[in-house]
Amino acid sequence: MAGTGKAHLSQGETVLRIEDLFVEFPVGRSGLKVSAVAGISIDVREGETLGLVGESGCGKSTLGKAIMQIVTANSGQVLFGDIELTTLKGEELRQTRPRLQMIFQDPISSLNPRRRVGKIVREGLDIWKIGDEASRQAKVLEVLEVVGIDAEAAIGRRPHEFSGGQCQRISIARAVATEPRVIICDEPVSALDVSVQAQILNLLEDMKARYGLTLVFIAHDLAVVKNISDRVAVMYLGKLCEIATPDDLYASPAHPYTAALLSAIPVADPEVNPTLRGGVGGEIPSPLAPPSGCRFRTRCPLATEKCAEEEPQVQEVRPNHFVACHFPLAEGQDLPALEANIA
C-alpha cells in the first residue's frame, strides 16, 4: 500500500489539508518506533464528508487525532483553512478548538459521569463566552432538541441515565454547540446496535445539512462509510491505498486491498456463497517492521518483485479515482479467488 504522493490533492479551496504527515510512537524503551501514520497526504473539502476506512492498526484513528492535535505529528503539515496546526501551541491552538470538534467511539465514557447533561453540552459555550446567559441556555436546549433528546427533561440528568444511543446524541449536541466548521467522528457508531446505528447515521446527515458541517468520518465498517461519505479513503498500515467517491470505489475498486476488504464483508443474502469470494489470507503485518515497497504486498495476490522494491505513488486511474498501486485493477477485474486459507 501504498503509497505516498499528492496527485489526489485538490487544487482548490480545502477546509483541511494534510501533507506528508508522519506520526510515530516509541515502543517501550526498545528504541523502536511504530509509524502509525507514515506519510499521508489528504484533503477535506468544504461541506463534504470524508470517510476513512481500514482495519485496526491502519492508523485511521491516529490520523484523526493528529488532525485534532491530540497526538503530535513528527513531521508534515495539517492546514485548517489557512492555519498550520502542527506548529501551534498553547493559547493559539486552543483558539482553534471551537471550530474543530470531535465525537468519540464510546459514547458513555466520553461524557463526564458526574456532570449533568445540560452542563456537559454548555461547557464549550461557557469557556468561549459565546453569547449571554440566556442565549447559551437557549442554544443548549436547541441542540439537544435537534439531536432528538427531550431537552427540558435531560439537562438535569447525568449520562448514566441514558442509553448508549442517547449518549451518542448528547455527544453530537456537545460537538455542534460551538458551531464548529469540522467534526472528526472517530468510529461514532461502532459501539451501537444496528437499529440505533441507523438513527445516529441519519442524525449526522441531518446535522451536516442543518449546520453546514464538514465531517471526517472514521470507521472500519465499509457499508457505514459508504452510506455517509462523499469521498472514501482506504488506509493500510499507515499509508493511503485508494481514494474515490463511494459509488465508484465500491463498484470498481482499483486497489487489491480495497477489493479484498469489500469481498470480505458478509452480505445479508443467503444466495451469496461467502466461501466463493476473492479475498486475502494472512493478517496485517507488524507495524514495527512494515514490508518494504508496497506495504500490502505480503498479502496481495498480485504482488511482484517490483512491489517489494518500489513504493507505489498515488496516481489517478479514472477521473477522481486515485490509487497507490503498481498494478491497479481495471474496471470489472476481480481479485483472484482466495486459495483455501486452511492448510
Partner 1 sequence: MSAASIKESSATTPASEAPLLVVNDLKTYFKTDRGLVRAVDGVSFTLERGRTLGVVGESGSGKTVLSRSIMGLLPKRDVERSGSVKFEGVELVGADTSLMVEYWGDQMAMVFQDPMTSLNPVMRVGKQITEGLRQHLDISKDHANQTALALLSSVGIPEPERRLRQYPHEMSGGMRQRVMIAIAIACGPKLLFADEPTTALDVTVQAQILDLLQTQQRDRYMAMILVTHDLGVVAGRTDEIAVMYAGKVVEKAPTKVLFSNLRHPYTEALLSSIPKISDPSHTRLKTIGGRPPNLINPPSGCKFSPRCAYATDKCRTEEPPLSAPDSDGHQFSCWFPVELSAKQTAGVR
| Contact track, partner 1, 204-243, x by CB under 8 A | -x--------------xxxxx-xxxxx-------------
**Burial (CB count within 10 angstroms: exposed 0-12, middle 13-18, buried 19+), residue 150:** exposed
Which residue, 90 or 270, is less far from partner 1 as judged by CB? 270
Using rule CB under 8 A, residue 197 touches partner 1 = yes
Give the torsion through C-alpha atoms of 115, 119, 121, 123, to 10 deg: -110
180 binds partner 1 (CB under 8 A): no
Shortest CB 183 distance to partner 1, Å: 17
DSSP per-residue letters across 119-161? HHHHHHHHHHT-S-HHHHHHHHHHHHHHTT--HHHHTTS-GGG
- Which is nearer to partner 1, 212 or 274 (by Cβ)? 274
Applying CB under 8 A, among 13, 126, 161, 247 the residue interacting with partner 1 is: 247
- Does residue 106 touch partner 1 according to CB under 8 A? no
Tell me the per-residue interface mask from 36 to 75 with partner 1, x by CB under 8 A, - otherwise: -------------------xx-------------------
CA 286, CA 258: separation in Å to the nearest integer? 20
> In the window 71-100, what residues touch partner 1 (CB under 8 A)?
none
Q: Please select the residue that binds partner 1; options are 128, 250, 301, 317, rule is CB under 8 A.
A: 250
What is the C-alpha to C-alpha distance for residues 226 and 204, in angstroms, rounded to an integer? 14
Give yes or no for a contact between 193 and 110, defined as CB atoms under 8 angstroms apart.
Answer: no
Asked if residues 192 and 155 have their Cβ atoms less than 8 Å apart, the reply is no
Residue 30 found at the interface with partner 1 (CB under 8 A): no
Residue pointed to by grid coordinates 439537562: 155
Residue number with CB closer to partner 1 (26 or 281): 281
Size of the site for partner 1 (CB under 8 A): 54
Q: How far apart are CA 38 and CA 74, in angstroms?
A: 10
In angstroms, give the least distance from the CB of 67 to partner 1.
22
Of 110, 120, 174, 182, the residue nearest 147 (C-alpha)? 174
Considering only residues 271, 289, 305, 339, which one is a binding residue for partner 1 as defined by CB under 8 A? 271
Among the residue ranges 78-86, 93-101, 108-116, 199-207, the one whose residues contact partner 1 (CB under 8 A): 199-207
The DSSP annotation for 11-56 comes to SS--SEEEEEEEEEEEETTTTEEEEEEEEEEEEE-TT-EEEEE--T
- Shorter beta-carbon distance to partner 1: residue 90 or 319: 319
DSSP state of 70: S
Q: Is 321 in the site for partner 1 (CB under 8 A)?
A: no
Contact by Cβ (8 Å): 7, 313: yes
Going by DSSP bridges, is the β-strand pair 100-103/16-27 parallel, antiparallel, or unpaired? unpaired
Rg from Cα positions in the chain: 21
Looking at beta carbons only, is 134 or 342 nearer to partner 1? 342
Q: Which residues contact partner 1 by CB under 8 A?
A: 55-56, 163, 165-166, 193-199, 201-202, 205, 220-224, 226-230, 245-247, 250, 260-275, 277, 279-281, 283-284, 341-343
